[in-house]
Amino acid sequence: MQTVTYREALNQAMVEEMQRDGNVFLIGEEVGEYNGPYKVSEGMLDRFGPLRVVDTPISESAFTGLAIGAAMTGLRPIVEFMSFNFSLVAFDQIVSNAAKTLYMSNGQFPIPLVMRGPGGPAAQVSSQHSNCLESLYSNIPGLKLIMPSNAYDAKGLLKSAIRDDNPVIFIENELLYGDAQEIPDEEYTLPIGVGEVKREGQDVTLVAYGRMLHLAAEAGEVLAKEEIGVELIDPRTIKPLDLDILADSVRKTHRMVIVEEGHRFGGVGAEIADQVYGACFDDLDAPIRRVTASENPLPYAKNIEAASLPSVAGIVEAVKAVLYRAS
C-alpha cells in the first residue's frame, strides 16, 4: 500500500493510462509548464512532452472542441478545466457535440473523452466560482458523471473513465486535493455506476457524494454517540446511478436523508429521491429528507458562506427529523 493525496491519485491515474495507451493525452490551461493550477499534472510534461500534455490559451470552447474532434479520430483526450465553472464557456461544445455525436452519427463516432477539474464551493471563492454543476450535466443524455469523494475512488474511477468510449464529466473538489489515503501499489480500476456502503447502520440511510460524504461521515459519528445507526452510502457516480445499493439500504432502514452541496430546486438529490420512491415507496416509514445549499448565489463572506452550505449540524437535524416522523 502507498499513502497518496487526492491530487496524487489523479496524477497516477493519468500517468498510468498515458503509459498504457499512446492515444491518451491531456489538454487544458496551465497543465504543462505550470504543472496544473492545482498541481494535479505535476511532472507530466517532462514525462510525456508537449504533444501529449498540451497547454492552451484561455479558451475553453476552443480546446474542448479540439478534444471532441480528436476523440472522433480515435484519440482519447483528457480535458482539464481549471474550474468546472469555466466549463460553461464550452457548454455548447459539451452538450451539442460531445454528448450527441455518437447518436447523430448513427454510432459511427464514439467520443472517448474525459472532462475533469474542480467544481463546487471551495473556500471563499464567491458566487461565480462555486457553482455545483452536476445536476445540470446529469440532465444531458450521452454524458456520464462521476464525483469521487476520496483518493482511492478518484484513481480507480478516473482510469475507468479514460478507458470508457463515452464522454465523462469527472468533477473533483479543490478542498479534497490535499486529503491523503492509503491505496494499492498495484494497478486497479473501479466500475462506473457502482456505489459503496461506507458505514453500515440500521436506522437511516444517509446518501452523500463528493466533499459532502465527509460531512455526512462526521454526522454519522455524532449520531452514533446517541445510538442512532446511520448507513452511509457514497454513490460515487451520479450517472449512471446505482439504484440497487440505495434501494437495498432503504429496505433495511426504511428512512433516507440525501446530502448535496448544490441547490435544492432541480438538484441531484431530487432525482435520487424520485428513483428511490419509485423503487421502494412502500418500504419508507417517513418522507425522504434532503439537505442542500440555500437558494442564493454563494456569498464571499466566510460566515454567510458557511450559513449557506450544508453542515454537520444540519445533517444531524435532518436524520432526527425522519426518525421522529416515523416514531
In CATH terms, is domain 196-326 a member of 2.40.33.10? no
pLDDT at 68: 98
Low-confidence ranges of the chain (pLDDT < 50): 327
pLDDT at 124: 87
- Phi, psi of 186, deg, nearest 5: -80, 165
Q: Tell me which DSSP letter residue 299 carries.
A: P
What is the third-level CATH fold of 2-183? Rossmann fold (3.40.50)
Please answer whether residues 308 and 294 qualify as being in contact, where contact means their C-beta atoms are separated by less than 8 angstroms.
yes
pLDDT at 126: 86
pLDDT at 327: 44
Q: Tell me which DSSP letter residue 97 carries.
A: I
pLDDT at 220: 97
Alpha-carbon distance of 19 to 15, in angstroms, equals: 6
Grid coordinates of 209: 457524494
Question: Nearest-CA neighbor of 237 among 149, 122, 132?
Answer: 149
Please answer whether residues 255 and 326 qualify as being in contact, where contact means their C-beta atoms are separated by less than 8 angstroms.
yes
Alpha-carbon distance of 29 to 58, in angstroms, equals: 6
Alpha-carbon distance of 231 to 222, in angstroms, equals: 13
pLDDT at 324: 87
Sorted by where each begins, the domain ranges of the chain are 2-183, 196-326
DSSP 3-state of 320: helix
pLDDT at 325: 67
DSSP 3-state of 199: strand
Residues assigned a catalytic role: 60, 129
Pairing of strands 114-118, 168-172: parallel
Query: Which residues lie closer than 8 Å to 72 by C-beta, 6 or more apart?
Result: 101, 109, 111
Fold matches, 2-183 and 196-326: yes
pLDDT at 35: 96
Instruction: Calculate helix-pair angle for 212-224, 312-326, nearest 10 degrees.
Output: 60
Question: Nearest-CA neighbor of 9 among 189, 138, 230?
Answer: 189
Please answer whether residues 80 and 114 qualify as being in contact, where contact means their C-beta atoms are separated by less than 8 angstroms.
no
